[in-house]
Amino acid sequence: MAEKKVPFTKQQIEELTKKYPTPFHIYDKKAILENAGRLQKAFSWAPEFREYFAVKALPNPSVMKLLKSIGIGADCSSYTELMLCDMAGISGENIMFTSNETPAMEYQKAKEQGAVINLDDITHIDFLEQAAGLPELICFRYNPGPLKGGNAIIGNPEDAKYGLTREQMFEAYSICKAKGVKRFGMHTMVASNELNVDYFVETAVILFEMAAEIAEKVGIELEFINLGGGIGIPYKPEQEAVNLEVLGEKIKEKYEGILASKGLKPKIYLECGRVITGPYGYLVTQAVHEKKIYKNYVGVDACMANLMRPGMYGAYHHITVLGKENAPADTVYDVVGSLCENNDKFAVDRKLPVLEKGDFIAIHDTGAHGHAMGFNYNGKLRSAEFFLNEDGSFEMIRRAETPEDYFTTLKF
């Protein structure tokens, strides 16, 4: 069972809102560091293990700097995310650049930074060579197609736009070897928000066996294998978190049996985002209206612009009513925002304590793909972000948008 508690009190939020109105996101700095450390320890057996934080999950340089402080790099997929690395002081091979349908300027930026460039298609070899020149190190993203069953969010690999086929992988490494590339890596990403440990172990086996075959047939030893990310989190209280220690041990066993036994010892990388920061983020909002028609509705001052997942995916996010943590949850509500969209709902038919206007509500697990997926539909403005420090203080790491921000691009 996943424990769903908030690391702050109603009184702390009341004090914070005297200066900064809701809605806003809060990230528990201590919990993020402790959790990231767990992942690192679980894979400490691997040669030169490195985690690359998936920037898309929480694109804030303050978060990236925090993770950099314990040796975590950045997994980027766009020019702007590469710029965030500059802001956070992350450079060189601490950046993994994995993109698709990539413009030339993005490859040029990644090459200038010395990032690890992970190519998504065999035709991108020539494109990269013409756009920026081939670097010393090249990585390819593998799409295992029918060899791998589908993940609920990403779907079947055969239907995915990402990566090279098995046959293309051998050809791509051979082409790059002939062109003088000296160092090679391999990558895949076939899961999103997956809670089954064995799913990741199966993926590792596919990559390890491919690496051994490439060494035999192409005559190159891969410097690293990036197992991707996609480790899920328990959004619902009844779900169990992925046991990172068990995951690390199971993959270690496969690594030793398939690779180390043949004298192959590539580095192991991961590029997790959600599991690093997701459970330690909270969207704090306030009840502003109550409506009783065919159902009981509570309207809050946040909306899908602050957290898209419930409206977009029907995703569950747990809710805590601050100050009423121990009150009976015996009243059924839809908790809704103010967008002109009927799917602008944070909870549907949810049993909660009796809600009143003015109540502060904390929506859990918004530390990944929360603020990051924000938008300006209906002219809504994206919210502020805060760190919760270990001493209980709040540190603003992004201010809230203003109407001036919204109109800036129109005043040209």
Q: State how far the Cα of 13 lies from the Cα of 21, in Å rounded to an integer.
A: 10
366 within 8 A of 25, measured Cβ to Cβ: yes
Residue 176 annotated as binding? no
Which letter does DSSP use for residue 105 in this model? H
Is 256 annotated in a binding site? The answer is no
149 known ligand binder:
no
Residue 316 counted as an annotated binding residue: no
What residue has token string 């690594």?
255
Q: How far apart are CA 255 and CA 204, in angstroms?
A: 8
Which helix (H) or strand (E) segment holds residue 362: the answer is strand 360-363
What is the distance, to the nearest Å, from the Cα of residue 240 to the centroid of all Cα atoms in its chain?
19
Torsion (CA) 86, 87, 89, 93 in degrees, nearest 10: -30
Q: Which of 174, 153, 151 is nearest to 164 (CA)?
A: 174
| 328-365 burial: b if 16+ Cβ within 10 Å, else e | eeeeebbbbbbbeeeebbbbeebebbebeeebbbbbbb
Active site residues: 340
Say if residue 309 carries a ligand binding annotation. Answer: yes
CA distances from 179 to 105, 132, 142, 214 (A): 22, 14, 20, 17
- Known binding residue 194? Answer is no
> d(Cα 189, Cα 25) in Å, to the nearest integer?
28
Is the CB of residue 385 less than 8 Å from the CB of residue 24? yes
- State yes or no: 382 annotated in a binding site: no
Q: Angle formed by the axes of helices 104-113 and 79-88, to 10°?
A: 20
CA angle 298, 301, 302 (to 5 degrees): 100
Q: What is the 3-state secondary structure (H, E, C) of 130-199?
A: HHCCCCCEEEEEECCHHHCCCECCCECHHHCCCCECHHHHHHHHHHHHHCCCCEEEEECCCCCCECCHHH
Count Cα neighbours of 134 within 13 Å in the Cβ-side half-sphere: 21
Beta bridge pairs of residue 319: 363
For the four alpha carbons of 5, 10, 14 and 16, in that order, the dihedral sign comes to negative
Binding-site residue numbers for pyridoxal 5'-phosphate are 230, 271-274
Write out the binding residues. 230, 271-274, 309, 313, 341
Give the residue numbers of the binding site for substrate.
274, 309, 313, 341
